[in-house]
Chains A and B, each alone.
Chain A
């Protein structure tokens, strides 16, 4: 039995080898052999960090926001965002970018991430604003500052930074940039 099995295995390997050999000039790709058919429908959408979770109520409203295309978000959600902003910070006047509640929430309600193709890419680095999102960007402090910090950034000082300023693992200097899993 054992010898027969080995013989059969050998024959199988020979058969496979021969088969492969006969297809040396075959250029069929895995993509073409694999089934990618069908229609895929949107379930989740995200660009800027924490925006949807801060400004959209959980449950059905969140599902609705997640399945809205960004071009339709401004018209549908700016007023919702403004109400939430003023509930979070009833004393809101303008933020450190000089934005009124209407201007700030108009920016936020369309959930896309602006990304520069010509220079520094950062959520905010003291100079550049919303030119991307790098791994080390302290995005939460930026958002807390804009929501709670008032025109100078000096209001509500106990709410404008969570004092967690960096990731728990260093990032890599090369692709894939994210640190290995714990």
Chain B
């Protein structure tokens, strides 16, 4: 009885359009196909434990056939937001934007104004890196203790999304074992930056989120 109720609930959710589409791989109408759609955000300690690494991925579910043509957009600013006093308002931002064949980075620096509108902190240029091409080795640059990368990578996300959709749709009662990774063999466009922890304030922990912002 309990199970039946659960499946009925899940079916209703599916009918009302609440389908899980990956970590965030196929987002909402406002961001699809605009270069704004973030698929995943990662934040972890670097191989050098004095550093943190931030990864922002976009353009999900690229196949080997479509990856070569996928490009970052010059009107889309990627912003890594860092709150270091627990109020969920950004105290520092790291900005990344494409110009020509390079990705330019700014910060970490206090934003002009926190919130939904940003200007690029041109007085706080951190460095730049040539955007790596599909099928070529990764191009990395370093500047001021920071490291930069931008280009296509294997999507690090893994999930049996297909089976989960079947569960939500009421056509499956649970996951398979082993499951099937819906994201196997697919790529994303990655922006990766490694930053000394000392540049991120003095708190012992931070709150992090990523945003894409489009030029008006």
Contacts from A to B (Cβ < 8 Å): 29-32, 34-47, 49-50, 52-54, 57-60, 62-63, 66-67, 69-71, 73-74, 84, 87-91, 110-122, 131-135, 138-140, 156-159, 161-169, 171, 173-182
Q: How far is the CA of A49 from the CA of B23 in the complex (A)?
A: 5
What are 12 contact pairs spanning A and B, CB under 8 A? A38-B215, A40-B117, A40-B118, A44-B38, A46-B41, A46-B211, A52-B27, A54-B20, A62-B27, A113-B41, A159-B174, A180-B153
CB of B12 to closest CB in A, whole Å: 7
Contacts beyond the supplied A35-B99, A44-B36, A114-B205: 20 A-B pairs with Cβ under 8 Å: A30-B128, A39-B117, A44-B31, A44-B37, A45-B38, A45-B211, A52-B24, A53-B21, A60-B29, A70-B209, A71-B87, A117-B200, A117-B203, A117-B204, A117-B205, A121-B52, A162-B160, A162-B179, A171-B156, A182-B185
Which of A46, A47, A60, A87 has the most CB atoms of chain B within a 10 A radius of its CB? Answer: A46
Which of A30, A50, A114, A122 meets B20, CB within 8 Å? A50
Whether the Cβ atoms of B104 and A31 lie closer than 8 Å is yes
Q: Are A181 and B152 in contact (CB under 8 A)?
A: yes
Which B77-123 residues have C-beta < 8 A from chain A? 77, 79, 81, 83, 87-89, 97, 99-100, 102, 104, 114-120, 122
Alpha-carbon separation in the docked complex, A54 to B159 (Å) = 14
Across-interface contacts of A166 in B (CB, < 8 A):
158
B165-216 at interface with A (beta carbon < 8 Å): 167, 173-181, 183-187, 190, 192, 194, 197, 200, 203-216
Closest to B201 in A: A117
* Interface, chain B (partner A; CB < 8 A): 2, 5-6, 9-10, 12-13, 16-24, 27-31, 34, 36-38, 40-47, 52-53, 55, 62-64, 67, 76-77, 79, 81, 83, 87-89, 97, 99-100, 102, 104, 114-120, 122, 125, 128, 134-135, 138, 140, 147, 149, 152-154, 156-160, 163-164, 167, 173-181, 183-187, 190, 192, 194, 197, 200, 203-216
Residues A158 and B104 in contact, CB atoms below 8 Å apart: no
Residue of B nearest to A173 (CB): B47
B122, A177: Cβ atoms closer than 8 Å: no
Whether A53 and B20, one on each chain, are in contact in the complex, defined by CB atoms closer than 8 angstroms, is: yes
Given contacts A162-B164, A164-B178, A180-B153, contact A43 B34 (CB under 8 A): yes
